[in-house]
Amino acid sequence: MASTRENIAKDIVAVLESATDPVAIRFVSRQPIASVDLSDHQYPAVFVRTGQEDRSDESMNSSTSRFGRIDYTITGLIKAEGEHNMDTERNRLIETIEEALEVDRKRNTLCMNSTITNVTTDLGDQFPIARIDINYQVLYKYTRGTV
């Protein structure tokens, strides 16, 4: 049986694999992505990684109920071409990810809430390739010994 954090990561990947508006995400992976390994047809590409997790007891009286707050990093790569510039392509990918994840903030009942807490972009030093990093925070409740 997979852990809750693993099931949440799988749900995020499944949602992003089907995201199409305003831009279709063409490649989603849990493995790191090197831009040199991608064909032009695989952009935009997204890499989902489980990051830091903070845990706390639900209450002072409970020895088994706990809360977990996980940060997932969603890294996106775009390739600027055609009528859209690099900044526009980054913004379109960010919007696609935001809108797709916002549809179900409880991640298919796996968590209590989820939200994007931070978005960063590179300076475009690797033109025409650009990168975004999104911190996606998930709050969930679990029973100690079952995660």
Assign 57 a pLDDT band (cuts: 50, 70, 90). Answer: confident
- pLDDT attached to residue 36: 92
Would the pLDDT of 59 be above 90? no
Pairing mode, strands 45-57 and 65-79: antiparallel
Q: Beta partners for 104?
A: none
- Say which DSSP state 40 is in: G
**What is the per-residue pLDDT across 78-103, written as a single tens digit (0 to 9) for each?**
998 877 789 999 999 999 999 999 99
- pLDDT attached to residue 76: 97
- pLDDT attached to residue 81: 81
- Say which DSSP state 44 is in: S
Q: For the residues 110-114, what does the mean pLDDT come to?
A: 96
- For the chain, report the end-to-end CA distance as a whole number of angstroms: 10
Rounded to whole angstroms, the Cα distance separating 30 from 144 reads 26
Rounded to whole angstroms, the Cα distance separating 126 from 90 reads 13
Assign 115 a pLDDT band (cuts: 50, 70, 90). Answer: very high
Alpha-carbon torsion, ordered 81, 77, 25, 38, to 10 deg: 80
- At 118, phi and psi to the nearest 5? -160, 145
**What is the per-residue pLDDT across 3-55, written as a single tens digit (0 to 9) for each?**
888 999 999 999 999 999 999 999 999 999 999 999 999 999 999 999 999 98
Whole-structure pTM value? 0.91
Helix (H, G, I), strand (E, B) or coil at 67: strand
Instruction: Find out whether 41 and 26 touch, Cβ atoms under 8 Å.
Output: yes
